[in-house]
Amino acid sequence: MANLKEIRNRIGSVSSTMQITSAMKMVSAAKLKKAQDAITAMRPYADKLTELLQNLSAGLDSDSGSNYADDREVNKVLIVAISSNRGLAGAFNSNIVKEVKRLTTEKYANQEVSFITLGKKANDIISKSENVVENNNAIFDELNFENVAAIAEDLMERFSAGEVDRIEIIYNKFKNAATQIVTTEQFLPILPVESENASTADYIFEPSKPEIVQGLIPKALKTQLFKGIRDSVASEHGARMTAMHKATDNATELRDALKLQYNKARQAAITNEILEIVGGAEALNN
């Protein structure tokens, strides 16, 4: 059995760890509230804009001034993997890496695949085995629509120039603090409406169809990417809060077990001392 000093040191170490994980949990909970409110407010607008864009894409043609709906043969694929810059968030980042491996080994096994990574953690792993053409860790330092729009514009230029035939986005979609859903969305080309019950409205374009398309499509694509990053940020804080909550509970259980072990060892030491005193007294009497 470990001596009392070793057990006391372990109790102190576990208690310090528990204080850290508890503090991280509270910080993540505070950040989660803000991030959750942001994505909850944005999601209906982004979803409706995407629906409108998909309805509109069914009528895009060569005179619309856009090639964002060109469904050409897929030879080159660009995947945007959204992770985080920090760890200690459970399986948040590893799930993104797993989805990347699934796409490269299954869906796009016969295509040339390249990556743009947003976040340090996924980039550290993906860059070891895949072709990462760009990494942007600073996007999370000042997350706003303008900075994300610049990334979206770069993606649109790559597609328009024919550098890639398809662009996919991988991110964690926020459901609640304990659940994040790994989601893969096609960014370009624009997906047409697939549902038979989908709206097939005959739009009247004013002032003109090319002007509407040139203004609406870029905005919708920028909003789609911004929503994905917002979802990922909320999911990160939720995953970290849950992970730190579990870590705090585990540290509490370990500390209680060590305290029990310490008390048993201390009681055993006291008992031995009493026995030695009694034995010594008996020896003197004899």
**Each residue's pLDDT tens digit, 225-273:** 999 999 999 999 999 999 999 999 999 999 999 999 999 888 888 888 8
Name the residue range of residue 227's domain. 22-243
Domain assignment present for 101: yes
Domain assignment present for 39: yes
The two tokens of residue 104 are: 């490269």
CATH of the domain at 166: 3.40.1380.10
Helix count and strand count (H, E) for the chain? 5, 5
Domain assignment present for 5: no
Whether residue 183 contacts residue 173, with contact meaning beta carbons closer than 8 Å, is answered with yes
Count: domains in the chain: 1
Domain assignment present for 210: yes
CA dihedral 40, 46, 52, 55 (to 10 degrees): -100
pLDDT in tens, 21-38: 999 999 999 999 999 999
The two tokens of residue 28 are: 């993540």
Domain assignment present for 278: no
Q: Which residues make Cβ contacts (< 8 Å) with residue 265, sequence separation at least 6?
A: 1, 2, 3, 4, 7
**What is the arithmetic mean of pLDDT over 61-75?**
72
pLDDT value for 49 = 84
Domain assignment present for 2: no
What global pTM score does this model have?
0.84
Q: Give the 3-state secondary structure percentages of the chain, helix then strand then coil, rounded to 5.
A: 65, 15, 25
Whether residue 68 contacts residue 210, with contact meaning beta carbons closer than 8 Å, is answered with no
Domain assignment present for 32: yes
What phi and psi values does residue 81 have, to the nearest 5 degrees? -100, 120
Domain assignment present for 250: no
pLDDT value for 197 = 47
Residue 61 has pLDDT above 90, yes or no: no
Q: In the predicted model, what is the mean pLDDT of the chain?
A: 87
